[in-house]
């Protein structure tokens, strides 16, 4: 059972696990103890490679995106790909902060994915109304290694579907410090984020941030 979402610091340090399927779970409160440091790193890296709204074949993404790590995910009218350079600055993406790498490996290990070393970290910034439609993460060669997804700031509803687009979709509340991991048999599950509701969070103001760690393969 997740603790009372309004409990604030009363539950700092509290962690719980909600299984979502084989190789997949919500790790409640898993990153709470280092959330402030993660947010400080997001500000630092987005000062180098700024948030931007990428174009896709079907339009402009409502969440703003940047990356860190050896490879970054980019999209434009011609499609998606991973690149070692930020097309906006021409420079390599900011390095993966050691704090990020450690968190990703620890969260993956909690689901028995040993030695997870992601080369890519997508950093999403959601303002109220921003959303992410149901999709599979299918731009990676490695389709067994997990995705590790960290929620910071305003709460959101994570949409957790099945291996087929038409499968029933569960609505999973994700809050500041929660981590979702999906790999192995669940690696290709359709997922998304419902439109973010207005709010104010003491750590991030009017935004939700999400870190998504991946192994492009
Ligand atoms: C994603 O699917 O890439 C991001 C999920 C999220 O923002 O929670
Ligand atoms: Fe995704």
**From ligand 2's centre to the CA of 217, what distance in Å?**
16
pLDDT in tens, 8-50: 445 556 899 999 999 999 999 999 999 999 999 999 999 999 9
**From ligand 1's centre to the CA of 8, what distance in Å?**
24
> Which H helix or E strand runs over 42?
helix 35-48
Does residue 74 contact residue 87 with C-beta atoms inside 8 Å? yes
Domain spanning 16-214: CATH 1.20.120.420: no
Which among 68, 23, 18, 43 has a CA at the least distance from the CA of 172? 18
Q: Is 179 helix (H, G, I), strand (E, B) or coil?
A: strand
Protein residue with its CA nearest to atom 6 in ligand 1: 210
The residue extents of the domains of the chain are 16-214
pLDDT in tens, 125-172: 999 999 999 999 998 888 889 999 999 999 999 999 999 999 999 999
Length of the chain: 217
* pTM of the shown model: 0.94
**From ligand 2's centre to the CA of 137, what distance in Å?**
5
Q: How far apart are CA 206 and CA 125, in angstroms?
A: 10
Protein residue with its CA nearest to atom 7 in ligand 1: 210
Ligand 1 atom at minimum distance from 191 CA: 2
The Cα-based distances of 201 to 12, 69, 162 in angstroms read 15, 27, 31
Protein residue with its CA nearest to atom 2 in ligand 1: 192
């Amino acid at each position: 059972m997740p603790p009372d979402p309004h409990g604030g610091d009363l539950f700092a340090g509290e962690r719980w696990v909600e299984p979502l399927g084989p190789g997949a779970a919500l790790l409640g409160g898993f990153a709470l103890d280092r959330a402030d440091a993660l947010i400080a790193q997001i500000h630092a890296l987005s000062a180098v490679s700024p948030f931007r709204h990428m174009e896709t074949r079907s339009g402009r993404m409502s969440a703003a995106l940047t990356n860190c790590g050896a490879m970054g995910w980019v999209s434009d009218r011609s499609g998606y790909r991973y690149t070692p350079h930020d097309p906006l600055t021409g420079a390599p993406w900011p390095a993966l902060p050691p704090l990020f790498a450690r968190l990703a490996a620890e969260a993956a290990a909690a689901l028995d994915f040993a030695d997870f070393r992601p080369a890519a970290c997508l950093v999403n910034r959601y303002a109220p109304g921003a959303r992410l439609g149901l999709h599979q993460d299918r731009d990676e060669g490695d389709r067994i290694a997990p995705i590790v997804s960290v929620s910071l700031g305003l709460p959101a509803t994570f949409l957790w579907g099945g291996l087929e687009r038409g499968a029933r979709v569960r609505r999973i509340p994700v809050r500041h410090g929660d981590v979702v991991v999906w790999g192995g048999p669940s690696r290709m599950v359709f997922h998304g984020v419902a439109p973010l509701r207005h709010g104010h969070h003491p750590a991030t103001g009017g935004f939700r941030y999400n870190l998504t760690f991946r192994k492009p393969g």
